Amino acid sequence: MTAIAPEQIPSPWPPPEGCPAWCESQLMHQPERHPEDRVHFGPEHQVQLSLEPGVEQCDGGYRIEYLTVYLRQSQDQDGPRINLSQGELAGVTLTLREAGDVAQALYAAICDTAEKP
């Protein structure tokens, strides 16, 4: 009989402690799901990008481009990550600390526009 390393033993799903308060992905919480598909998702927050060109739709119309931000945590992660993407394109994944640093940098850039005494 071959021994199984502790890290190879799958974690129970859904987790016994339940979902984080921000999780909205009940469909992803079926025990038969593949471990790579066991994910917590938070609500999406979108910001319209008025300076970006519109995106052509199948019907010939256009839609305004946008940024999407949401929390995501897979079964093997010790905490949530923040996903940031533009429209339907793949984006970046940030730790909470990195996301906080981005927020501070954006705020600093906004403050730079204020009149200086």
Count other C-beta atoms under 10 Å from residue 114's C-beta: 6
CA angle 8, 29, 11 (to 5 degrees): 20
How far is it, in rounded angstroms, from Cα 26 to Cα 13? 11
- Is a pLDDT exceeding 50 seen at residue 6? no
Q: What is the pLDDT of residues 31-42, one digit of tens each?
A: 677 767 778 889
- φ and ψ at 63, to 5 degrees? -130, 155
Determine the 3-state secondary structure of 117 from DSSP: coil
Higher pLDDT, 70 or 21: 70
Check whether 8 has a pLDDT greater than 60: no
Question: In terms of pTM, does the model score above 0.75?
Answer: no
**Rounded CA gap, 80 and 111, in Å?**
29
Q: What is the pLDDT of residues 60-92, one digit of tens each?
A: 788 888 999 999 998 778 889 999 999 887 799
Cβ contacts of 25 within 8 Å, gap of 6 or more: 39, 40, 41
Contact (CB, 8 A) for 48 and 58: no
Backbone phi and psi for residue 72, each to the nearest 5 degrees, phi listed first = -150, 140
How far apart, in whole angstroms, are the C-alpha atoms of residue 84 and residue 99? Answer: 9
